[in-house]
Amino acid sequence: MNRTHYLFSAILIGMTIFLSSCGNTREKNKEGEGLKGDLHIIHAGSLSVPVQEIGKAFNEKHPGVKILSEAWGSKAGARRITEIQSPADVFISADYMVIENFLMPEYADWGIRFAGNEMAIVYGEKSRYKESISNENWYEILLKDDVAFGRSDPDSDPCGVRAVLTIKLAEKYYSKEGLSGMLLTKDENNIRPKETDLLALLHSGNIDYIFLYRSVAEQHRLKYVTLPDEINLGNPMMQDLYSEVQTETAGRTPSERITEKGQPMVYGITIPKTAENKEAALAFVKFFLEKENGQAILEKLNQPSMVPSPCKGYDKLPDELKAFVTAP
């Protein structure tokens, strides 16, 4: 009798575990059902690692969605939407102002600010004077004749704009008249469309230093010089100081010029009006902005979250996303 009792109990426990497993599988399938098809994402080059990681996590819940992502300088990415009508269900910019200046109101109704960053001077194993560079002498090192540095194109990429603004702020901060002019006219042949295009040149030793986002340096395990808050564009409390410098860049079209003032770095995300898979796009943006999902991954990748933040176009924002912004 005891042996029969034990056998019956084992069978009962096994069936319970099996049915529970089936139930969990059904719940997972139910959670992701209805979302399918291609999801086209155009994003800033500096977000390549975060978008990849967040995309993987999103696909665990929504396996029917195929994520197709393209990395561009944010301005160049916006122009792909406005000029050649590239498929874009989600657009993620390294500067929220790109959404407001390039896409709204014709191509987007709203833009949500979600993360910050800061500028740094990044170097590699082959960089000259890497042992002696600091946040007090970095500009002297970069000006040496035997040193080459790179930055991205301000007309294509917000990181390029911020490199120019950081250099102009440095002239004021270090009280070195003419410093910005000397740095901005040196190594102009090392300007590339987006900041991540410079990484291969750094690894090969063709250039020694890059003006780059701190988050990208940490994601790629690169060494870097931390810059003072007064020039790194990373401190939200220094808006007035940053705004003392400005630069002219290309606007919506190559012939249009706009003036960009210094301001703390803030990234932005939107769903373009031309999005074809709006349902999946909305689910992805919601997942991206959720503290326990996308924002947790960003924080892990050294990109500080700024959710919730103000939102331009709040009145047209989907109800599902209003929890991630501050009401006007």
Quick one: 210 and 140 in the same domain?
A: yes
Q: Residue 292 has what pLDDT?
A: 98
Q: Residue 63 has what pLDDT?
A: 97
Is the confidence at residue 205, as pLDDT, over 90?
yes
How many other CB atoms are found less than 10 A from the CB of residue 296?
14
Burial 13-39 (b: 16+ CB within 10 A, else e): eeeeeeeeeeeeeeeeeeebeebeeeb
- Kindly indicate the confidence band of residue 294, based on its pLDDT and cuts at 50, 70 and 90: very high
Among 261, 280, 296, where does a domain finish? 261
Reading the block at residue 141, the tokens are 């090192």
Is the confidence at residue 12, as pLDDT, over 70?
no
Among 261, 278, 294, where does a domain finish? 261
Distances (CA, A) of 48 to 52, 118, 146: 6, 17, 32
Which CATH number fits the domain that encloses residue 187? 3.40.190.10
> In which residue are the tokens 């373009």 written?
272
Q: Residue 33 has what pLDDT?
A: 60
Quick one: 145 and 210 in the same domain?
A: yes
Is 225:134 a contact under the CB 8 Å cutoff?
yes
Q: pTM of the full predicted structure?
A: 0.86
Return all residues near 294 (Cβ < 8 A) that are at least 6 apart: 54, 57, 287, 288
Quick one: 172 and 183 in the same domain?
A: yes
pLDDT digits 0-9 by tens, 311-328: 999 999 999 999 999 988
- Tally of domains within the chain: 2
* Choice between 27 and 240, residue whose per-residue pLDDT is larger: 240
Query: For residue 63, is the peptide bond before it cis, meaning its omega torsion is within 30 degrees of 0?
Result: no
Based on the number of CB atoms within 10 Å of its own CB, is 226 exposed (0-12), middle (13-18) or buried (19 or more)?
middle
